[in-house]
Structure 1
C-alpha cells in the first residue's frame, strides 16, 4: 500500500528501457522510478494530467526501446494508477480528437458508445447529452474538474468557452457516482480537460464548408519560469440548413468564444486557473413547440475558477468558482409583440475542498463542497421582493429562486498486489425543499487476474435536484410542478477488462434502478392541445451491457505501415417504467436501445492520413410532428470521414459528415443536416 521510504535518495526517473550495455550503471546509488504514475481525480483534474493510456511497446524503432507512458485514472476521490483502478473510465484522448471529422465537442461525444447525443441543430447549437439511457439533466459536466452544470436547464450546459482544438482529452465515467461528484451525477459525469502549451507559442486555424459554415481562431501562450499563461479566441458562423415556412433562416448560427488559462508550479504547490466567455445566437426551428417553426435563442456564459494543490503529507485541493449564464428565448423570432421573450440569468458560486493522505491501511480522502445556485427570470421561480432590470431592455426580472447545496464526503482505498477496494459515502443537504442530510454510499472493487485480464464490480448511489425549468416552466403548452422530488438512482455493475500491448477490450453489464425520475409527459388522449407536464415517475429500471475493443494495428503488425488502428463498440439498453400507453415522453422514456460505433485510421502516404467512422443508432420513443401527429423515431446509420496532411508545424484537411446524405432525426420533428463538407488548416509557431 502507500508506504513511504524514510531514507532520502536522489531520484532517477525512467521513461525508456534501453538495450545499451552501460544503461544499468545509471541506477547505481539512486532510487529508481520506472515511468511516472501521474494521477488526478475527475472532480479536481488539472490541465497537466496525461490521458489514460496503456503501456505501449514500440517494436518498429531500431533500438527496440520499450516506452512506459504516464498513466492517469479518474473515478474516485483519491488518485490511483490505471492498473489499480476499480472503476472503468472512457477517455477520448488528443489523437482521437485530432482525427475526428467533427465541428464541436458535442459531435465528438457521439463516438463514445455509452453516450447519447441528441442534437436539435448543427455546430452544437443545442445538444442534449446523456449517459446509459438517462436524460440531459442527469449527468455532471466538468471543465478542468469544475462543475459547470446550469441549474436552469440541461440544454445550456455545453456552452463551452473553449474550441475543440484546445481540448487535451475528454473523460467519461458511466454510472451513478454521488460520492465522487455530488448532486446531478445521477447516471455519470463528463470532464473536458483543456491543454496548455509547454512552450511559448502561437497557433492559428480556419475551416469553412457547406451551408455558409466558417470557423476561425487562434491561441497564444507565454511561459516564464514557473508561470504559464495562455489565451485563445474563436468565431463560428453558419447560414443553417433549413428554412421556416415563411422563407427565412431558422437553423442559422453565430457565436464566439474567449478563454484564458494559466498555472504556477513549484516544489510546494501548484495552482491552476481559467476564465472564459461564450456567446451565441441560433435559429431554433421547432425546438420547444411544433406549432412555431421560427424560434430563436441567444445564450451567453461566463466561467471562472481557481484551483490549487499542496504537496505535503496531506494533499489539500481547494477550489473556488463562479459561473454566470444568460438566456433569451424568442418563440417568434424578432417579434415580442405577440409572445414576450423569455429572459433568464443564473449565477452559480462554489467552494470545494478535496484532500487525501496515506497511512498504514491505505489512502483516505475527505472533503466537502458548498454550492449556491441563484436564478432571476421573467418566467421561472417565485416573485422577487425587489425586481431587477434586464440589461438592454425596458423590462425587469420579476421572478427568481435561490438554493444552496452542502455536501461532505469520505472515501477510503485499499490497494494490494492484485486487489483494489474503493468505498465511500457522501452526505448531501439542500435548502430548496428543506431537505435534511441524505447519505449516498458507493463501493468499487477490482481484481487483477494476470495476463492482461482484470475483473471489477461496483455498487453506487446518487441523486439529482430538479432544474429550475422542471420546477417552474408553465408557458406555451407546458405545466411545471414546483413540488417535484429529487431523483435517486442505485446501480450495480460488473465487467471484465483485457489490456495488453496493442489490444484494449472490455465488457460490462449494469442494472440501474431509478426512483422519482423526472420527465415531461403528455396525455395524447386529450388531443393536440394537451399540455406537457413535469412529473416524478414512480420508478425506471434499466438493464444494459457494453462491449468495446481497440486494436493498435501498427503495433500488432509492425511489418505494415498502412493500418494504424481500428476500434468498435456496441451498447444495448432495455428500460421498463410505469407509464400508460396513451402518454408520450420528452426524455426519460426515450433512449438508445442499440448503438454501434466503429472507427478506422489509415496512414496513406508520408504525412497523409485518413480516418472514417460509422455509427448506427436505434432509439425507443415517439415525437409529435408539426401537424400534431405522434410518430415513432426511426433507426439510422451515418458515415463520416477525414483526410489530412499532418506536418509537425501545420495541418491541412478535408472532412465530410453524413457523407451518404441520410435523412435522420435526433429529437422531435427537427431534421438533422445532410451531407456536410468542410476544409481547413492550422499552423503552429514557436516563440
Structure 2
C-alpha cells in the first residue's frame, strides 16, 4: 500500500511540475518544450497507469469508478498504448466494477450491454456468439487476450473459445472501426482486447452458483507474489441441461500467468486451455436440429518489455484449436445414407513480433514487424493431402508478414498520430499493401476531447469461407481479400459528475465477403460483393454516464446511470435494391440499439444493478418449421431486462441473477430461439 501511495504522489507531482514548466517555458520555446514535456508525461503515464488500473479492482465495495482513474488507464488503441484521454478513436472500456455488477456468465453476455457491440448468440453463457462491430461480420472482429491475437482462421464462430473466467478480467477494451495498424490485418471493423488482472499481492478467490435448467458454475483463482515475480492460476467450470432440446453445455477453463521483473525488464508468460462440448440445435443449418460441437483450445505466449528511452517489446505466441463437428449428433436414429461421418478440424497459429518504442522531443514513435502463420488440418477444409494424417485428409497454410510505423506528436492540447501497416499474405501472390492510419485529437479543456480519424484495413477469408462444402453451404476458394476505409469524428466529455460521447462514422467496404442464399439451387454460397459495389455504412454512437453518488448526497440510494444508443444504416446500389438476396452477414446488421444501466443500493450492503437493452435488426432470414423451409421473414425488434442483486459481507458476496425478466421471445440469429426467463444465484469469497 505504501508503494502505491508513493507512486500516486509521484504521478501527481510530475503532473504539477509539467504544468508549471509549460507556463514558464511557453514564451521561449513553445513547440519544442511542449513536445519534450508531453513525451515525458506520456512515458510516466504509461509507467504509472498500471497501479491506478489495479487500484480499481480492489475497491469492490464501490458502485462507481472515478473518472480520473479511468482516464489514466493505458489502452491499446494505438501502437504506443496511449492513456484513454489521449486516444483519438472510439474506445469503450468495461471496468472491473462493471463486470462484477453484471448478471452474466460469459464475456459474450457481458458485451451485450455495450451499445456499440452487436452480439449474435447461438448459445448463451459463453457457448457461442458472433461478435460484430459497426455493421461488420463476426469474422471481421479481432479478439485478443492481453494483446495476443487469438482470432481463429478456421472460423470466427470459435474465436471466443478462450480460457478466461469473468473473475480473471481486469477490464475489456473495445476499439471501434478499422484497426489493422493496432491489432493486425484481421481487425477489419475493430477489436476486443481482454486484459486480465495483474495482482499486487497474494490472494485467492472462489465462486459457486446454480440455477434453472440444471445450471451449475464454479470458479477458483489464486495469486502468489514474491519479491521479483507474480504467479496466478485460475480454473472454471460451468454446465447446464439446456433451455430447449439439444442445448446443454459443459465448459471448462484453465489459465496460468506469470510476471517476472528482471532488472527493469518485464517478462510475461501465460498459457491456457479451454474445452467446450454442447448441443448445437440448428446452429449452422436449420435443417438439422441435432447438431453437436466438441472443441478444445489452447495457447501460450511469452512477452518481454525493456525499460529506458528506447523500449524493445518482443512477443512470441502459439494457439491451437481442435473441433469435432457433428452435423447429425452421435446416437441420432435413422441417419441418412449420404452422411459419411463427422467433421474434424485442427487449426494452428504461430506468431512472433517485435515492437520498438522511442521517446524523443518530437513525441513517441512505434515501429516493428510481425510474422504470423495460420494453418489447418481437416477432414473437409483445405486442399487434399497426398497422405492422410489420422482423420485429416485436407490442409491449407498461409503466412502473414507485416511491418508497421507510427509516430505520435503529443502537445499540450493536441495529439496527432500518423502511421501505416505494410502487409503481405502468401495466399495473395506478389502483393504488398499499405494500410494507413491518421488520428488526431484536440483538448480545449481538461474535460473535453474532440477527435477525428481515417483508417484502412483488410481481411483474408477464413478457411470455412474458402472450402466448406456440406449440406446447403458452398464455399468458394476463389474469394479475394476484403478491404475497408473509414472516416470517423466525435467528441468526449468527462468530469467528476458526467461522462458522455458522440461519434459519427462512414465505412466504405470493397470486395466484402458474404454468404448469400440462391433460389436456383436452394443453397448458401460464399461470395465477394461485386467490385463495382462499394458498400457504404453510416453510423452514429452516443453515450451518457451520470455518477449520481457524486451529484447527490450520499444518503440517496442511486449510484450511477449509463445510457447508450447506436444507429446504423447501409447504402445499397440499385442492383441490390431490386434483387436484395437473403444475406447471412453483410445485410444482417443491427440498425438500432439502446442500452441503459442503473445501479442503486438498498440499505448499506445490498446493491442492485438493472440492465435494459432494446434492439432492432435489419435484414431477414429464411424461417424453418419442423426443419423445413417455410418463408422469408424480417427480424423483429425486442427488449430485455436483466437484474443482479448482491449482498456484501467483508469477504463474502451473495448474489442473485434474473435474466430476461419478462420472458421475451427473441432470436439473435434466425431460427435459433434464445432463452426466456432464467434465475440463478450463488456466493463468492475473497481471501
Confirm or deny that 1:604 pairs with 2:602. yes
Q: Which residue of 1 aligns with 2:439?
A: 444
Q: Which residue of 2 aligns with 1:402?
A: 397
The answer to which of 195-204 and 428-437 deviates more is 195-204
Matched ranges for 1:32-47 at <5 A? 38-39=45-46
User: Separation in 1 of the partners of 2:220 and 2:239?
Assistant: 16
Confirm or deny that 1:490 pairs with 2:485. yes
Matched ranges for 1:90-489 at <5 A? 90-243=92-245, 250-335=246-331, 338=336, 339=339, 340-389=341-390, 396-450=391-445, 452-489=447-484
**Secondary structure of 2:408's match?**
strand
Using the TM superposition, give the Cα deviation of residue 581 of structure 1 relative to its aligned residue in structure 2, in angstroms. Answer: 2.8
Using the TM superposition, give the Cα deviation of residue 451 of structure 1 relative to its aligned residue in structure 2, in angstroms. Answer: 5.8
Gaps of 5+ in 1: 1-10, 19-30, 61-65, 244-249, 390-395
Q: In 2 relative to 1, CA 50–103 (structure 1 residues): closer, same or farther, beyond 3 Å?
A: same
**Secondary structure of 2:643's match?**
strand
Q: Which residue of 1 aligns with 2:583?
A: 585
The answer to which of 72-81 and 606-615 deviates more is 72-81
What is the CA deviation profile of residues 644-669 of structure 1, one whole-angstrom value per residue up to 9, with x for unaligned ones?
Answer: 01233111100111011000000010
Q: Which of 615, 634, 637 lines up with 1:635 in the alignment?
A: 637
* Cα pair 2:346 2:376 within 8 Å, conserved: yes
What is the CA deviation profile of residues 318-372 of structure 1, one whole-angstrom value per residue up to 9, with x for unaligned ones?
Answer: 1100000011111111059642101000010000111110112211110110000
**Secondary structure of 1:39's match?**
helix
The answer to which of 574-583 and 283-292 deviates more is 574-583
* Cα pair 1:52 1:73 within 8 Å, conserved: no
Using the TM superposition, give the Cα deviation of residue 273 of structure 1 relative to its aligned residue in structure 2, in angstroms. Answer: 1.3
* Cα pair 1:15 1:68 within 8 Å, conserved: no
What is the CA deviation profile of residues 59-85 of structure 1, one whole-angstrom value per residue up to 9, with x for unaligned ones?
Answer: x9xxxxx98984323311113333333
**Secondary structure of 1:108's match?**
helix
Q: In 2 relative to 1, CA 200–87 (structure 1 residues): closer, same or farther, beyond 3 Å?
A: same
TM-score calculated relative to the size of structure 2? 0.88
User: Separation in 1 of the partners of 2:158 and 2:76?
Assistant: 25
User: Separation in 2 of the partners of 1:518 and 1:404?
Assistant: 20
User: Separation in 1 of the partners of 2:101 and 2:673?
Assistant: 26
Q: Which of 523, 534, 545 lines up with 1:531 in the alignment?
A: 523
User: Separation in 2 of the partners of 1:67 and 1:107?
Assistant: 26
Q: In 2 relative to 1, CA 47–210 (structure 1 residues): closer, same or farther, beyond 3 Å?
A: farther
User: Separation in 2 of the partners of 1:274 and 1:637?
Assistant: 39
* Cα pair 2:566 2:592 within 8 Å, conserved: yes
**Secondary structure of 1:180's match?**
helix
* Cα pair 2:237 2:251 within 8 Å, conserved: yes
Q: Which of 611, 614, 621 lines up with 1:613 in the alignment?
A: 611
Using the TM superposition, give the Cα deviation of residue 558 of structure 1 relative to its aligned residue in structure 2, in angstroms. Answer: 3.0
* Cα pair 2:473 2:523 within 8 Å, conserved: yes
What is the CA deviation profile of residues 618-646 of structure 1, one whole-angstrom value per residue up to 9, with x for unaligned ones?
Answer: 00011122231211110000000010012
* Cα pair 2:54 2:197 within 8 Å, conserved: no
User: Separation in 1 of the partners of 2:376 and 2:450?
Assistant: 45
Aligned residues: 634
Q: Which residue of 2 aligns with 1:625?
A: 623
**Secondary structure of 2:270's match?**
strand
User: Separation in 1 of the partners of 2:55 and 2:321?
Assistant: 32
Q: Which of 668, 671, 676 lines up with 1:669 in the alignment?
A: 671
Using the TM superposition, give the Cα deviation of residue 219 of structure 1 relative to its aligned residue in structure 2, in angstroms. Answer: 1.1
Q: In 2 relative to 1, CA 308–35 (structure 1 residues): closer, same or farther, beyond 3 Å?
A: closer
Q: In 2 relative to 1, CA 560–37 (structure 1 residues): closer, same or farther, beyond 3 Å?
A: farther
Q: In 2 relative to 1, CA 85–16 (structure 1 residues): closer, same or farther, beyond 3 Å?
A: closer
Task: Please report the RMSD computed on the Cα atoms of aligned residues, expressed in angstroms.
Answer: 2.5
Using the TM superposition, give the Cα deviation of residue 182 of structure 1 relative to its aligned residue in structure 2, in angstroms. Answer: 1.6
The answer to which of 425-434 and 556-565 deviates more is 556-565
Using the TM superposition, give the Cα deviation of residue 35 of structure 1 relative to its aligned residue in structure 2, in angstroms. Answer: 12
**Secondary structure of 2:470's match?**
coil
User: Separation in 2 of the partners of 1:423 and 1:36?
Assistant: 19
User: Separation in 2 of the partners of 1:185 and 1:452?
Assistant: 30
* Cα pair 1:35 1:70 within 8 Å, conserved: no
Q: Which of 517, 533, 542 lines up with 2:537 in the alignment?
A: 542
* Cα pair 1:377 1:398 within 8 Å, conserved: yes
* Cα pair 2:128 2:157 within 8 Å, conserved: yes
Q: In 2 relative to 1, CA 49–266 (structure 1 residues): closer, same or farther, beyond 3 Å?
A: farther
User: Separation in 1 of the partners of 2:70 and 2:657?
Assistant: 34
